[in-house]
Structure 1
Amino acid sequence: MIPAELVHILYLVAIVAEAMTAALSAGRRQMDWLGVALLGSITALGGGSVRDVLLGRHPLSWVEHPSYLLITSAAALATIPVAHLMGHLRRLFLFLDAVGLVVFTIIGCDIAMGLGMPIVVVIASGMITGCVGGVLRDILCTDIPLLFRAELYATVSIVAGCLYAGGLWLDLPHDLVMVGAMLIGLAMRLLALRFGWSMPKFVYTESLH
């Protein structure tokens, strides 16, 4: 059986990585140190917070565990003195971001299932947990959110959520389903990054007559 401590460790690694990548986005927008800390925390914890609000789940995760705020803020601020090294660690952070996406997705699905939600809501909860933090980051940095671009990101979250929720609905062993969903989702994301896989784009230009 997969220990809950391992999932928690992966969650902590994921929120630290999300906070650090958000700090780089803050630096590109020349935010002050408070802005760096806030953007890091919002990116790392925003998806779970939106999920909890939509599902009526209280207290929010960072209210229940205030240490998450300290961890994400500290990780974002710690990025400032080492930002010049981040270019060499790009592949590592892309990998950690992919790990975070699938871990957040599974956690979001678990929470919705614990509340007795329908399977469609369970899958949506996983996607919200995995993706909305990045959407909030991009909105605050005035970028087009990654979720709304062609790159495979939300699609990976939906696939991982479907595999996880579907496997449990079929009464398959929990640990096998969780590991399988995470590995398939992680592989999809990494292959999409490697080969540039993307969803079809909708391109519309209004012609003037």
Structure 2
Amino acid sequence: MLLDVLYLVAIVAEAMTAALSAGRRSMDWVGVMLLGCITALGGGSARDLLLGHYPLAWVAHPSYLLLTAGAALATIAVARFMHRLRIVFLVLDAIGLVVFTVIGCTIALDLGLPFVIVIVSGMITGCVGGVLRDVLCNDVPLLFRSELYASVSVVAGCLYVGGLHLGLPHDPVMAVAMAAGLLLRLLAIRFGWNMPRFVYTRDLH
């Protein structure tokens, strides 16, 4: 199934980008592998824990741990060439965001949860891994900055769930939702689209 293949591509890409973040923080090899696994699988794990959906994906499929840890470790060997692939990884990260979102929405739908919870499930799946990575690297999470990221997940999730609610065929709905989310994310990167910022500098004392 195409979604399964895209999922594997996405977790490998997330693990490799996390490994680069670990390298910028001078982590040892164990830290690199752990950060890669947490980033790639953390969103889905957080979703499953919150929704009571067991077993967790990496418990049911231990190969996911081996794949993400291996991808993170392999990044150490090819790190010197990674700057040449920056655009590729931005695209893969965007693909991962929409793929994770659709998977998260699908699981919540299968559990019969309300619309709002379904959308939040998709957003958690798509975004929380990156939040965990940034927190562990002592960075302000991308989710909490102005860049379009979580909003892309919400848009993709709404298109996917909305299309299914209208009774449209699953595969075309999924393709359109993912394509729209991917296009929005790439356009946001290309043109620097941001959400409005809240800036407060006055002292309360």
Q: TM-score range by the shorter chain?
A: over 0.9
Within the candidate set 128, 135, 138, 2:131 is matched to 135
Alignment of 1:1-209 (within 5 A): 5-207=1-203
CA distance in 2, matches of 1:130, 1:102: 7
Provide structure 1 residue ranges, at least 5 long, that are not aligned to the other structure. none
CA distance in 1, matches of 2:77, 2:26: 14
CA distance in 1, matches of 2:121, 2:4: 18
CA distance in 2, matches of 1:207, 1:23: 39
CA distance in 2, matches of 1:27, 1:208: 39
TM-score (normalised: structure 1): 0.97
RMSD over equivalenced CA pairs, Å? 0.9
CA distance in 2, matches of 1:110, 1:160: 12
The structure 1 segments of at least 4 consecutive aligned residues displaced by more than 3 Å after TM superposition are none
CA distance in 2, matches of 1:15, 1:27: 18
1:26 shift after superposition: 0.2
1:170 shift after superposition: 1.1
CA distance in 1, matches of 2:74, 2:35: 13
Provide structure 2 residue ranges, at least 5 long, that are not aligned to the other structure. none
Q: What letter is aligned with 2:77?
A: P
CA distance in 2, matches of 1:126, 1:207: 38
How many residue pairs are counted as aligned between the two chains? 205
